[in-house]
Amino acid sequence: MAFFSFIENGQVNSLDSTAFLKNCYLCRMITYTEENYLKSILMLSEGKDSVGVNLLSRELNIKMPTVTSMMKRLSEKGLVVFDPYKPIRLTEEGRLQASLVIRKHRLTETFLFEKMGLGWEQIHTIAEQIEHIQSPVFFDKMDELLNYPSIDPHGEPIPTKEGKIITHPYTKLSEHKVGETVLFSKVGDPSEKFLILLNQKELKLGEKIRIEAVESYDNSFTVSYGANKKEVFSKIIADKIWVE
Amino acid sequence: MAFFSFIENGQVNSLDSTAFLKNCYLCRMITYTEENYLKSILMLSEGKDSVGVNLLSRELNIKMPTVTSMMKRLSEKGLVVFDPYKPIRLTEEGRLQASLVIRKHRLTETFLFEKMGLGWEQIHTIAEQIEHIQSPVFFDKMDELLNYPSIDPHGEPIPTKEGKIITHPYTKLSEHKVGETVLFSKVGDPSEKFLILLNQKELKLGEKIRIEAVESYDNSFTVSYGANKKEVFSKIIADKIWVE
DNA sequence: ATAATAAGTTAGACTTATCTAACATTAAAA
DNA sequence: TTTTAATGTTAGATAAGTCTAACTTATTAT
């Protein structure tokens, strides 16, 4: 039986190969489930830099006690900083890993949309599964075939291989005024329902939108775009349309 | 709380929605792991129509007691017929589900090879993961883009959507005689190692192979193919090359 | 025919990922 | 400021999937 050693917290640990792979933080693999937690933490902590257990629990559709116990595990693995009753923050390593999962997700969405011709309302759920595939060549090949894209079909930035995420300073359609013409740049809700709604309205990413009127009573927007399209978007919808 | 009922073995079962989904055999989902067991059972029981626990255990790299307990589960789910100390057989439903997993695997391999330009030594491990993706549209789209292929890049048949597998009656190169010319039609070992060996020998599927000599001492084959290629294949290799 | 070997099973333990019920802390409201 | 509501944690249970050690059945060889 071969033994391996590593130093952690100033302690020398000697373990057989199986135990080594499970315990040495350099070797610890991130599970499918852990990847999902990391991804959600990164996306929810945008801006604030931290998330509460409750919010994370809702996002993942997982009960709070489960989230708490997972946070202990991720904390032991050095991927998050977690103190009881305090919000959760990613470590440097945690942020990198989360970014790489998001990279795989968005590369996949782009591939499914651009190269396979699937609808933008279909690609999210498929990418949620493919993002966990373990195969660098597979994603590198996608990247190459797509000619190293930087934005996915919903207008979200694709993180670089180094985990860097370039965020564009888009604004909500709802924040603009009558008479302005803006460019539809990012979808604010990746749900199938919302994307099917946009399909029905024939509103595609990159479309020029002109604000014809704003009803002050309910903040609904009357807009025109494309070849002769004229639609009314409620505040709820106008909040989910990011523009430039 | 809503209650649902179903009849199984002449017994009426009434359950709440969660328990219903877990217990009604019509609704029971097949897990990632279960799919792998089913796939291996089908592949190993080719010909004999049944497999032993030991063989299955070796194929899956999983210890025998684990296999036994999984067989009990699959048997309860109506996917295999399992009597203690007897070999394992798939039920009609089990065979269908196994075929559909193999279909997804081989469609994926074909897609990775034909549409993404990955090497045939790389595609197997990626397809092992993608075969478990749950998304009919995704695989239907692959099928369509590949123009409904019937054979994968290793020469294996792709099961139909109905689970039918058309097996070609290929023979091993090792069974042929000096002077014969045969067509390389199927790879007998999908391992990376073997495929890299074939790459090095520049032997591709569909190649015409002429048997120049057979050494009776060790049954090695001297063959020629392609533009001026001449190679010696040991019995071990000649057994893994299926021809027509 | 019986001993040895291979194949298969049982029992019990462990890890991951989840849950519910009960308790604790923090924040918000009265 | 105290009560209430929201948020978070502990404890204990469960299911899936795996293991090892010990036992049982079947097969093979002498």
| pLDDT 10s digits, A164-173 | 999 999 999 9
Residues A98-117: b if buried by 16+ CB within 10 A, e if exposed:
bbbbbbbbbbbbbbbbbebe
3-state secondary structure of A135: coil
Q: For residue B88, what is the DSSP state? A: B
Average pLDDT, rounded, for chain B: 91
| pLDDT given at position A11 | 55
Q: What is the largest CA-CA distance in chain A?
A: 76
Identify from A104, A111, A133 which residue to disrupt to test chain B contact, counting B C-beta atoms within 10 A and taking the largest count. Answer: A133
Average pLDDT over residues A186-208: 94
Which of A240, A145, A147, A155 has the alpha carbon at shortest distance from A205?
Answer: A155
pLDDT at A125 over 70: yes
User: pLDDT, tens digit, for every residue of B7-47?
Assistant: 554 555 555 555 555 555 555 689 999 999 999 999 999 88
The amino acid occupying position B197 is L
Cite the DSSP H helix spans in chain B. Answer: 17-23, 32-44, 53-60, 64-76, 92-114, 123-130, 136-145, 192-200, 235-238
Which of B1, B7, B3, B2 has the alpha carbon at shortest distance from B26?
Answer: B7
User: pLDDT, tens digit, for every residue of A134-179?
Assistant: 999 999 999 999 999 999 999 999 999 999 999 999 999 999 999 9
Contacts of A125 in chain B (CB under 8 A): 135
pTM, two decimals, is 0.90
Q: What is the DSSP code string of B94-163? A: HHHHHHHHHHHHHHHHHHHHHTT---TTTHHHHHHHHTT---HHHHHHHHHHTTS-SB-TTSPBPPPTT-
Whole-angstrom Cα distance, residue A127 to residue B153? 25
Angle between helix axes A64-76 and A53-60 (nearest 10 degrees) is 110
Whole-number percent of chain B with pLDDT over 90 = 84
Residues A184-206: b if buried by 16+ CB within 10 A, e if exposed:
bbbbbbbeeebbebbeebebebe
User: pLDDT, tens digit, for every residue of B129-169?
Assistant: 999 999 999 999 999 999 999 999 999 999 999 999 999 99
User: pLDDT, tens digit, for every residue of A83-95?
Assistant: 999 999 999 999 9
Neighbours of B187 (CB within 10 A): 21
pLDDT band at A188 (very low <50, low <70, confident <90, very high): very high
Tell me how close the Cα of B107 comes to any Cα of chain A, in angstroms: 14
| pLDDT given at position A92 | 96
CA of B72, C1' of C14: distance in angstroms: 21
- Which range has the worst mean pLDDT, A46-50, A111-115, A158-162, B66-70? A46-50
Q: Judge whether B122 is closer than 8 Å to chain A, CB to CB.
A: yes
> What is the sign, positive or negative, of the torsion defined by CA atoms of B175, B177, B178, B179?
negative
Whole-angstrom Cα distance, residue B169 to residue A145? 37
Q: Judge whether B138 is closer than 8 Å to chain A, CB to CB.
A: yes
Which of B34, B20, B44 has the alpha carbon at shortest distance from B94?
Answer: B34
Q: Which residue of A has its CA nearest to B132?
A: A129
Average pLDDT over residues A210-224: 94
Whole-angstrom Cα distance, residue B38 to residue A86? 46
CA angle A93, A97, A101 (to 5 degrees): 170
Q: Which residue of A has its CA nearest to B126?
A: A135
Average pLDDT over residues A4-28: 58
- Which range has the worst mean pLDDT, A4-13, A72-81, A111-120, B73-82? A4-13
pLDDT band at B48 (very low <50, low <70, confident <90, very high): confident
Q: Judge whether A112 is closer than 8 Å to chain B, CB to CB.
A: yes
Q: What is the largest CA-CA distance in chain B?
A: 76
pLDDT band at B1 (very low <50, low <70, confident <90, very high): very low
A18 vs A171, more confident: A171
B141 and A117 in contact by Cβ < 8 A? yes
CA angle A170, A171, A175 (to 5 degrees): 170
Angle between helix axes B64-76 and B53-60 (nearest 10 degrees) is 110
User: pLDDT, tens digit, for every residue of B169-191?
Assistant: 999 999 999 999 999 999 999 88
In angstroms, how far is CA B79 from the centroid of its own chain?
17
Q: Judge whether B133 is closer than 8 Å to chain A, CB to CB.
A: yes
